[in-house]
Structure 1
Amino acid sequence: MKARIKFRKYGIMRFIGHLDVMRYFQKAMRRADIPIAFTGGYSPHMIMSFAQPLGIGVTSDGEYLDIELKEPVASDEAVKRLNQVMVEGMDVVSFTEIPEDKKSSGMTIVAAAAYEITMLVSGKSMYETVPVPGEWDRALEAFLKETTLNVMKKTKRSEKEVNIRPMIYRMEASGEGLSMFLAAGSEENLKPDLVMETFLKYMGLASEEHPFHIHRKDLYAKTADGSYLPLEDLGHRIQM
């Protein structure tokens, strides 16, 4: 049986990198007595995979971890046990059963991500944000009318020029900040900080002078009809 865990990451835990989050959940599984399965061989390890690693400093309401279970455990019980061993800044939201096939793994199916961007004031915390300036509404409208937004995009091995406009599915401004719905996953992946830096540059502003905070709302899979569903909605609760 395979299960998907949805969790939140916030507060001081936003500074913990992906590898440390992985080690953290390995310890949490043991402490919460979750019957997770292990690989075989001389060096067995827990069977788990994350849908989309989160950047350091980014908070999130929608992170996903897929695991394989040796035996079923009720969703409510699993969430309760895990939250009892969580530290401040990490909460488990849901625990659902997902299909056994590899094509259903979060790492494979994630296709988009939703973000909220808030502007920061120098000398204040990330929670003391300022509204997006009114003139940004007009600039954003013009920005999204562009069919080509070429930027230098870094990969693990090189750097190349990429048109990021097709990967911006939606981008809106409000009094609180900016919301983005961007391509994510193995096929196409667009980081919100790159979009924000490109937008500020489009307006003739320097990102260093306009600090911002990124919050990931959720991760989505694309359905057969072209719509998007949160990864959480592709599983079902385990009842015993």
Structure 2
Amino acid sequence: MKVRVKFAKYGCMKFIGHLDVMRFFQKAIRRAGIDVAYSTGYSPHQIMSFASPLGVGMYSNGEYMDIEVRTSLDVRTSLEVRTSLEAKAPAENVLMPQMSSAEMCRRLNEVSVPGIEILSVKALPESAGNAMASVAAARYTVYFKDPALNFHFLDSCLEDFLAQPAIMVTKETKKGISQMDLRLGIYECRVTADGSLEFLVDASSGGNIKPALLINALWRFAGRKRLSYFAGQSYAQEEELPLIALQQVREETYTNTGTAESPVFVPLDEVGEEF
């Protein structure tokens, strides 16, 4: 059975890279006593995949991991879950998980560390794609670490920025430097009442927009407005806004249940159900 785990990453854990997070969960799953499935072959490993690796230094309230757990007959399973499964197979042949989603969530939190919190555990339908292939968009909140600073200098120019037919930026990839148009991948962008910058952008494998690309495009577009707004700040004259001055938070990761022309974004855990 495929299970999707949603978790938050914050505090000192923001400095832990993706590979170490993956190793942490491999150990946490064993310590929690979850009967996870392993791959076959000479070097078996837990069947596990992550939606989208989080950059070092970023917080997140919406990270996702898919695992595959073994199943067994369990007469203690709730009547609601059994009824829904019996619609697909005879009762005597229904394979049920060895523990409920609430129990799995509780056990993982008990063996977790400060900075990683399990938020939900959901069973996925067989038709669901894996977490990484399902990612279509992500929502971010960005704010200055210095509480005296904010993004209100964008209030008078954000509408003009989004009205551009194209927003070209230079993107560095493994294959070299290329040009990328951000405009089609920006679904929402606004400055909140408290001066934070909030945006919903394309996070798919084909058009992934990293927050830094959008932030620096806005920084350059603001031009004179940010020069006067940040008068006296050492980085006001710089072409790009030093990301060390900001705290980036990935609020949620979405899949698209609509079409490419008319997307309908829903959180990745909404395609599953508790068990």
Instruction: Compute the TM-score of the two structures, normalised by the length of structure 2.
Output: 0.80
Bigger radius of gyration? 2
Give CA deviations for 1:11-63 in whole Å, capped at 9, x if unaligned: 00000000000000000011111111000011000000000110000000000
The structure 2 residue matched to 1:223, chosen from 242, 250, 257, is: 257
More displaced stretch, 220-229 vs 17-26: 220-229
Q: Residues 6 and 209 from structure 1, CA distance in 2 versus in 1: closer, same or farther, beyond 3 angstroms? A: closer
- Which residue of 2 is the match for residue 118 of structure 1? 143
Counterparts of 1:41 and 1:116 in 2: how far apart (Å)? 43
Counterparts of 2:192 and 2:8 in 1: how far apart (Å)? 24
| 1:148 CA displacement | 1.2
Give CA deviations for 1:98-144 in whole Å, capped at 9, x if unaligned: 0234x5211111100000010122xxxxxxx3453533111211111
Query: For the Cα contact (< 8 Å) 1:75–1:237, is it kept in 2?
Result: yes
Letter in 2 for 1:100: E
Query: For the Cα contact (< 8 Å) 1:193–1:214, is it kept in 2?
Result: no
Counterparts of 1:33 and 1:116 in 2: how far apart (Å)? 35
Query: For the Cα contact (< 8 Å) 1:119–1:210, is it kept in 2?
Result: no
Say yes or no: does 1:48 pair with 2:21: no
- Which residue of 1 is the match for residue 189 of structure 2? 171
Counterparts of 2:208 and 2:188 in 1: how far apart (Å)? 14
- Which residue of 2 is the match for residue 161 of structure 1? 179
Say yes or no: does 1:83 pair with 2:109: yes
**Percent of aligned pairs sharing the same letter:** 40
| Higher strand fraction (1 or 2) | 1
- Which residue of 2 is the match for residue 140 of structure 1? 158
Counterparts of 2:28 and 2:243 in 1: how far apart (Å)? 40
Counterparts of 2:173 and 2:221 in 1: how far apart (Å)? 23
Letter in 1 for 2:114: E
Query: For the Cα contact (< 8 Å) 1:52–1:185, is it kept in 2?
Result: no
Instruction: Compute the TM-score of the two structures, normalised by the length of structure 1.
Output: 0.91
Counterparts of 2:151 and 2:102 in 1: how far apart (Å)? 43
Q: Residues 64 and 210 from structure 1, CA distance in 2 versus in 1: closer, same or farther, beyond 3 angstroms? A: closer
Residue ranges of structure 2 left out of the alignment (5+ in a row): 72-96, 224-235
> Which residues of 2 match residues 202-221 of structure 1 at below 5 A?
202-204=221-223, 205=236, 206=238, 207-208=241-242, 211-221=245-255
- Which residue of 2 is the match for residue 33 of structure 1? 33
- Which residue of 1 is the match for residue 100 of structure 2? 74
Residue ranges of structure 1 left out of the alignment (5+ in a row): 122-128
| 1:146 CA displacement | 1.0
Counterparts of 2:199 and 2:243 in 1: how far apart (Å)? 21
The structure 2 residue matched to 1:185, chosen from 198, 201, 204, is: 204
| 1:156 CA displacement | 2.1
Query: For the Cα contact (< 8 Å) 1:132–1:175, is it kept in 2?
Result: no
Kindly report the root-mean-square deviation, in angstroms, between the aligned alpha carbons of the 2 structures. Answer: 1.5
More displaced stretch, 52-61 vs 186-195: 186-195
More displaced stretch, 198-207 vs 19-28: 198-207
How many residue pairs were aligned?
Answer: 230
| 1:223 CA displacement | 0.9
Query: For the Cα contact (< 8 Å) 2:151–2:197, is it kept in 1?
Result: no
- Which residue of 2 is the match for residue 124 of structure 1? none
Counterparts of 2:142 and 2:58 in 1: how far apart (Å)? 10
Q: Residues 132 and 210 from structure 1, CA distance in 2 versus in 1: closer, same or farther, beyond 3 angstroms? A: farther
Give CA deviations for 1:186-235 in whole Å, capped at 9, x if unaligned: 12100111110111111125303982111000100111362110001110
The structure 2 residue matched to 1:92, chosen from 99, 118, 128, is: 118
Counterparts of 2:160 and 2:20 in 1: how far apart (Å)? 41
